[in-house]
Structure formats: C-alpha cells, structure tokens
Chains A and B, each alone.
Chain A
Amino acid sequence: MAARAGASGAIDDFMDALLDRAEALAARHAPPADGFASGPLAFGLRTVGAGYRKRLTTALAFARNTPAPIGLRVIALDGAAGAGDPPGWDLPVTEPAHLERLHERPGLVGRYDPDTRTWRVLSRARNLALTWTADAAALPEWEDSCPLRDILHWHSAGTDWLLLHAACVGAGGAGVLLTGAGGSGKSTTTAACVLAGLATTGDDFVLVRPQAPPRAHALFDTIKLDDASLAALPSWRTAVANPARPHDQKARLHLGQARPGALARDGLALKAVLLPHVAGTARSRIAPASPAEALRALAPSTMFLLRGGAASGMAKIGALLRTLPAFHLALGADPMEAAAAVADFLERA
C-alpha cells in the first residue's frame, strides 16, 4: 500500500501496519476464532493468550455462535502471552483528539491507552479490528464487564445501530431504557427487575437500533452492583463473579451463568425511556419528561464514555428520542418496590 500523505496519513499507515502485524501474529499463535452474534452484531474473535481470551469472552459467552459468523473480525493480542509488547504512541500530535491518543477518520479509528499500554484499532474498510495490550493480567478488573466496547462502538458508527450507555429491562418482548449518569440507580433497578421476573438486555451498555420501531439487544451479560445494592438485594450474593475484587470495584454478576433466562436473547421492542434518580421515598413515581431532558441524560455520558463518532451518535440518539416518550423515574427506597413500579409501567405502556 502506498504511504498516505501528511501527519494524519502517517498515523493511518501506522494503524494499518498494526493491523497487518496483528493478522500475522494471530495466524501464527491464535486458536480458531470464537464467534459471537447478538441482534445486528456479529463478529469473530481470535485471541493470543488464554487468560486474555477468558477475560474478553466471559461477558460475551451468552452470544457465542459457532462457527464464527461472517462479519467483523477482531484480533486480541496479549503481549505477556507471546504476542510481544505493542508499540507506544510515538506519533505526530496534530489534532486535539490526539491528546487523548485518539485518531479518527471515516474508515479508521484507533486509540492508545498509555496506562495499560493498549492499542485498539478498527478499520471499517478491512472489517478488521485489534486490541493489543502489553499484559492482559494488568488490565483493570472493570474491563471484564464490557470487553471490546470501544471497538464495537466504533464499528456501530458505520451501521444503523449504536451502543448506548443505558440499561434495558422488559417483559413480554417490550422494554424500557433506563438512562442516567453513574449513581442514578440503573444497575440496582435492573438487578431488582430481574429478581422480579423481568428480562434485560444489560445494565450499562446496550445495542440499540434507533429507527422506528426501536429495539434493544444485549451486548454484555453483566450487572454491576456496589456493596449497598448487594446488601439491599442479598439473593445476588451467591452469583458474584469477582468475590476477591479490589475494594473500589463493584461486584460483577454474569446473567449468562447466574440467570440465563433473564437475558432477552431476541431483544426487546422499546416503548419508552425512563430517567431514574434516587428519591428515597416510600414509593417510586413516574412522571413525563421532555425529549431534551432524555437527551441530556443519555447522550453526554454515552459520548464521553465511548470516544469517537460523536456526530453520528448524536444524530442516532436524537432519532431515538423523537420516537420514544420519556419519563422521570423517582426511585423509592426499596429496589423491589421500584421494580414493581417499572413492571406496572411496562404493562400499561
């Protein structure tokens, strides 16, 4: 391939060369691809490093699909398991996004995390992505809850769906999004709803097709709960997958193992967006919200957590909120009472 012009072209060339090198390493060292499919998303994952493979696939295991489907190819390399160290960001810095080590072009996105020495790159033209980390054992524990989320987010920019920072619960094939910043009660409400018999497509990031009729699919099978939520919902205690977690990390539940029937494998038809906040009252209350309020609850946290693709993401979220009614959900003190309020709302939606 001819070298591309300018500093930006040099970064493009660098990322393409990383992908070439990853393909060569995977061909030599990786076992056959693991396949995954959920809703509109299908991809194959080849991993160098057994430990990294386990960390990447546990939250995705519910969507395992054999053989690997035709779609995005993802290569994961653990430097400590024989892939060698990835190069650092030794690149020209010519745009504000480069200060985040983020480089974005219509067909190519990449980001480097200097703390974990991890590259993540997606080429839409090649339908190929990589995540290459120096030592998978050194990655933060929370990454197991949402593996490959950057890559899958970038991949969505070229499709009619998107990843949203939201939870989703439902019954009878219909569901509602729960959206808000950390601490708004999304995860606790989701965990309580599952105990109450509702289905879910996730508590933190979900796949959504925004065009009418909007629909949500599961991407990860995890629910994360802090100690206070575990104390309020003690029946989840035996399902905690990381009992020896660091004190600042939340307990991680994998529904695919703990409650496989709770995952809405065919997705949920979305009926509304709920904006939870902890009110601590005796009873939960639901009241109308404006589309702009829903946008402020949903879009900033999605766009700040999932870097890149801002303009297309905003347009998709706007389209979704022109279709769905929005409501404030003032959460009462008892999560199971709040779950009953959500179930009642779903019955009437």
Chain B
Amino acid sequence: MGIELGDRFVANLAAVAHEAFDEETVLINFERGTYFSLRGAAPAIWTLIQTPATVAEVAAGLAASAGPLPDGAEADIAAALDRLHQEGCVATAGPTDGPREAATIAAGPYAPPVVEAFHDLKELITIDPVHETHEFAGWPVRPPSYAVEP
C-alpha cells in the first residue's frame, strides 16, 4: 500500500471538483482528465476527508452515524483512500499529531466503499508533463523576462 495508516488524508480540492447525489458522489480530477463514481461508504469517506483525517478518524466518523462497523471496514477505508490517493484525488496531510474527535455526518448503514474510475476522456487533456517540463527546462522555472514588448 502506498499510504501510511498514521497519515492524515484530505480531499485534493485544488485538482478535484465534486458533486453529491443521493447515493453517489462524482469526482472529476480536472488536472488528470479522470473521473470517479463513489458509492457505498465512499461518499461518506469523501465527506469526512474534507478536513484532514486519519483512517481511524474516518472509521470513527462512519461508526458515529452508521453504528459499529464490521470487521475489515478499516482495511476497506484504507484501500479506498489509497486508490483515491494514487489517482491524485486525495493528498496526504502528514502524520497525525494526536487523535481528533470524529466528524459527524449523516450516512446510512455501512456498505463497503466502491471507487469506480473512468479514464476514457484522458485524451481531452492536452497537458504532457514530460514534454512540457523539458521545454520549460524543469519544474518550476522562472525565465529572466516576461514583459510585453510595447
């Protein structure tokens, strides 16, 4: 797994737009040209990481609404966060500095989180980081002059 369980995770709102309907939240990563359907417990997880939270804190937030979670729920939550992290939708906010009170949300009975990814429109994004950063001589770069000629 690419994440540390002690880390806090937070929605990467600099790159992701989101909209929630009854039982599904749709994420659009407009930097990568990907989009996602979150179902089951995943919409509630997304809500709980609008402010930085650990896996345990997310689980506690779910349990506060849905009641005791089944065995394996924390592993499911960690896997969903790992997937969203790999897809650039979630950022890590560094290691925890101590437990925080679980956020409260309105969620129904627990169902394993589902993160369905769609990559069919990636070609619409014209960015090509390798090509672009080569042209710009690295990332970031500050050229010597950017004035408009009169």
Contacts and interface: CB of A to CB of B under 8 A. Distances in A.
Interface in A68-103: 87, 90-94, 96-97, 99-100
B124 A90 contact: no
A292 interface: yes
Contacts of B129: 99
A304 B125 contact: yes
A92 B142 contact: yes
Contacts of A18: 148
A310 B26 contact: no
Nearest to A314: B17
Interface in B9-51: 13-15, 17-19, 21-26, 28, 30-31, 33, 35, 37
B147 A92 contact: no
A45 interface: no
Interface of B: 13-15, 17-19, 21-26, 28, 30-31, 33, 35, 37, 118, 120-121, 124-127, 129, 132-133, 136, 139-143, 145-150
Interface of A: 7, 10-11, 14, 17-18, 21, 87, 90-94, 96-97, 99-100, 181, 290-292, 295-296, 299-301, 303-305, 307, 310-311, 313-315, 317-318, 321
Contacts of B140: 92-94
Contacts of A317: 19
A93 B132 CA distance: 10
A328 B146 CA distance: 50
A11 B13 CA distance: 23
B19 A303 contact: no
A237 B18 CA distance: 42
B28 A290 contact: no
Given A10-B146, A99-B133, A300-B35, A318 B19 contact: yes
B21 A295 contact: yes
B146 A304 contact: no
B32 to A, nearest CB: 10
Given A99-B127, A181-B120, A303-B28, A90 B146 contact: yes
A305 B124 contact: yes
B24 A290 contact: yes
Given A100-B127, A304-B121, A314-B28, 17 more contacts: A18-B148, A90-B146, A93-B139, A96-B14, A292-B23, A292-B25, A295-B21, A295-B26, A299-B19, A303-B28, A304-B30, A304-B125, A307-B30, A310-B30, A317-B19, A318-B19, A321-B21
A17 to B, nearest CB: 4
B145 A90 contact: yes
B143 A90 contact: yes
Given A100-B127, A304-B125, A310 B28 contact: yes
B11 to A, nearest CB: 12
Given A17-B148, A93-B141, A99 B132 contact: yes
